[in-house]
Amino acid sequence: MPYKRGISMIIREASRANNRKNILTNEYSKTKPLALFTESIVSLLSSKDIHSAFVDLVSLMGQTFPLSAPALATRLSGNDSRVYTVLGHTMGGDQEARRVLKSNRYSYTSVLIGGHPPLLNKRIDLPILNTAHARITLTINKGIHDEIFKEWVNILTPAVNKIIDNDQLTHLAFRDGLTGLLNYRAFDEMIHAEIERSSRYDTIFSIIMIDIDFFKKVNDTHGHQAGDLVLKSVSQKLLELVRKSDLVFRYGGEEFIIMMPHTGIDKAANIADRIRACIEETGLAEDIRITISIGVSQYKDGLEPADLVKKADMGLYLAKKRGRNRVEIVKDIS
């Protein structure tokens, strides 16, 4: 009898423990999404810019629910279409971006979450915003945490709306009036964000600095209207020649900078030389032909933004000194 009573007591205790576990599990399942929702909203509203906000949002989603393979497609008034995704280009990321954005022209931002790249399964599109000024859609693998993501989207909508409103207000401040490119102020903001991201995720990026050769001669010979035409034409050509993930800035005067995420210095130099050759072959008018000189540098952990720019500027100086219409790289500051 004592033996049977002991067995019964163990069974009752196990049952109570299991009940307590179920209660705690249910409470955890309720509080975990709430904590995620709160973290994502705080992250959105405290981000330095809309680009960083969306990268961090997809990163949080992807790290928490990697099997869902989240991707965020954005089309904002006054900005290029862009996709932020944990999917690789060849793993369905490009195909999905074209489907959701209904366009072949967009910037592609890969969001690294660690581990094996998630697989693409049957997808579900969850609209976050769909207005005349902004269309933002979250896409996930169907059947994995669908309800959590649907609730997440509903909670995110007001916060996303707010940061887009702020972005629209600051858009003019970050664009060059003549060329429409991102300006020096935008570069200063984004270079800090890219360095912080590279340090956090141990990634690389490069910048190339471009200067139009003998630009003063164009102004002196053909007038400032012709000079403005050259600046606008070069700007448009740069946008056509860079990759979807690259950012083009008018750094000042006749100088431009291209920021190239996830790109080492050798690959950046190859792209830079392709740009140089294409600009050389492009005739703006019968009597106006131009060339460009380029300096290239790569971010190394611990570098300040000014040091990275200084390296690219040194490369540009070498290109000018060695005859112009060429590309020079600088890996270290002596």
Condensed to tens digits (0 to 9), the pLDDT of residues 188-197 reads 988 998 998 8
Where along the chain do the CATH 3.30.70.270 domains lie? Answer: 184-329
Give the model's pLDDT for residue 171: 60
Catalytic site positions: 254
Q: Which residues contact 332 (CB under 8 A, 6 or more apart)?
A: 311
pLDDT surpasses 80 at 27: no
Q: For a pLDDT cut of 90, what percent of the chain falls above it?
A: 46
CA angle 182, 186, 191 (to 5 degrees): 115
pLDDT at 84 over 70: yes
Q: Assign a CATH topology to domain 184-329.
A: Alpha-Beta Plaits (3.30.70)
User: β-strands 247-252, 255-261: how paired?
Assistant: antiparallel
- Enumerate the CATH 3.30.450 domain ranges in the chain, comma separated: 2-172
Four-residue CA torsion sign, 25, 26, 29, 32: negative
Band (pLDDT 50/70/90 cuts) for residue 311 is very high
Kindly indicate the confidence band of residue 231, based on its pLDDT and cuts at 50, 70 and 90: very high
What does the alpha-carbon distance between residue 181 and residue 186 come to, in Å, rounded to a whole number? 10
Q: Is the pLDDT of residue 168 over 70?
A: no
Looking at residues 200-227, what average pLDDT do you find? 91
User: d(Cα 231, Cα 165) in Å, to the nearest integer?
Assistant: 30
Q: Give the model's confidence band at 149: pLDDT under 50 very low, under 70 low, under 90 confident, else very high.
A: very high
> Average pLDDT of the chain?
84
| pLDDT for the residue 333 | 59
Output the pLDDT for position 241.
Answer: 92
CA–CA separation, 145 vs 118, rounded Å? 15
% of the chain exceeding 70 in pLDDT: 85
DSSP 8-state secondary structure symbol assigned to residue 119: P
State mean pLDDT over 57-86: 89
Q: Which CATH fold would you assign to the domain 2-172?
A: Beta-Lactamase (3.30.450)
Q: Is the pLDDT of residue 39 over 60?
A: yes
> Looking at residue 238, what is its pLDDT?
94
Q: Mean of the pLDDT values across residues 303-312? A: 93
